[in-house]
Structure 1
């Protein structure tokens, strides 16, 4: 299954559901997701991202700024941000391993810290760098390396990919605001407007 998922090739039932409705989030946000905020927030923003994609990093930086601004204006529980993995291995050779590193860090309670480092160092995602980042975060490096070498977290990553494909995602980044695909430009004003509008 892992190989099929990584190549984005799926049985017919997945393709049918993907074609049926490409503008809505097929799998709703849940407590299983990696999130900042609460699911009961007026706006839940789901991002499908690739750690080696410059566009994904740019959009994530935008979202961080927007979250800070909205937190000041409307309170810290106004926006819930969820990140789902969508490594595009056919064009980004380190994206999947980086996603595994994020999940291995999550197993030790430091997902978002690793997540931020990976986006900040997109040109340095080789294995040696990943170990360096794990060290920097104070992770149990032997456990971290063991989980990556055994691909302990690959199923979780593939679940994210599947959920994206069923929602019509073909490339990262992709955003869904309260379950509806965002198709505007990657500019702070437009994205902020779409988020605030979705809360009404």
Structure 2
């Protein structure tokens, strides 16, 4: 079984209860249709088990298949620098069929981000390095597609694009 090579740290984007005994890590791609299916399922899981779950999102943009995946990941990272990672994460998934540079700038404006700062950060090498670190960590952990989930450091292979398959994690 594959194991998460990069442990979860305070530098990860996480939501839920940091004191929980359950840590669910997703390696995801904002343009991946399978990740788009998982998105509302994860939200439901967090609503139902939020006090008993920490959810971590890591970037795994499959640029060859999804040409806007990297710019979307960079947009989420740029929004994070202004305290709005999860808001941008959500808007990207809610609009994944319309991921273009112009639309992403519009999403940033909708979130009332400092647009000058966002534009500069969005194109920064620092954020590209962060996205690449996520990607490399995923590759070292055996990730070869998206979404890929790890529960408490162990790869979860039973996700079948249903809520029940994710909720089974909470019962284990």
CA distance in 1, matches of 2:33, 2:123: 26
CA distance in 1, matches of 2:19, 2:108: 32
Q: By how many angstroms is 1:124 displaced?
A: 1.2
For the 8 Å contact 2:24–2:56, the answer to whether it is kept is yes
Q: Name the structure 2 match of 1:111.
A: 85
Gaps of 5+ in 1: 1-21
Q: Name the structure 2 match of 1:19.
A: none
2:73 to 99, 110, 115: 99
The reply to whether residue 132 of structure 1 matches residue 106 of structure 2 is: yes
Question: How big is the alpha-carbon RMSD for the aligned residues of Structure 1 and Structure 2?
Answer: 1.2
Gaps of 5+ in 2: none
CA distance in 2, matches of 1:146, 1:189: 41
Length-normalised TM-score, structure 2:
0.95
The reply to whether residue 29 of structure 1 matches residue 8 of structure 2 is: yes
Length-normalised TM-score, structure 1:
0.82
Q: Name the structure 2 match of 1:10.
A: none
CA distance in 1, matches of 2:110, 2:125: 22
What SS is found at the alignment partner of 2:171? helix
Q: By how many angstroms is 1:186 displaced?
A: 2.4
Q: By how many angstroms is 1:162 displaced?
A: 0.8
